[in-house]
Amino acid sequence: MKKFEVFMDKWTGRDRWSGPEDAGMSLHLTEKDYHEFVKEAYKDRDSRNVPEYYENADGSLSKVFVSDEIYKKIVASKNGIRYYGNIKVRQEVD
């Protein structure tokens, strides 16, 4: 089975009452796509009005391998996709 190399970053959720929690990941074809994706996700944020819950990209971009099905979803997206559950990504190709 062919694997496709993409960029991944983990996201962390936070709220006023508890500590950080896993908020999924984002997957991107290029580093530029990643930066545009994060810029778009943060565009409506205002440091003077912090919501009760918010999510941040961890900034720890790494290369991973994904299946053809996931790769096609990334290609069809504007700058990448978010996953809130677990999906299978690999650091190395088989």
Tens digits of per-residue pLDDT, 65-75? 998 999 999 99
User: What is the 3-class SS of the chain, one letter each residue?
Assistant: CCCEEEEEEEEEEEECCCCCEEEEEEEECCHHHHHHHHHHHHCCCCCCCCCCEEEEECCCCEEEEECHHHHHHHHHCCCCEEECCCCCCECCCC
Please give the mean pLDDT across all residues of the chain. 85
Q: Mean per-residue pLDDT for 59-69?
A: 91
pLDDT attached to residue 54: 79
Residue with more model confidence, 87 or 10: 10
Global confidence as pTM: 0.82
Q: Mean per-residue pLDDT for 59-87?
A: 90
Q: Mind listing the pLDDT tens digit for each residue in 11-28? A: 988 887 788 888 889 999
Round to whole Å and give the CA distance between 8 and 16.
Answer: 27
Residue with more model confidence, 48 or 1: 48
Residue 88 binned pLDDT confidence (cut-offs 50, 70, 90): low
Q: How far is CA 55 from CA 11, 17, 52, 82, 93, in A?
A: 7, 14, 11, 12, 30
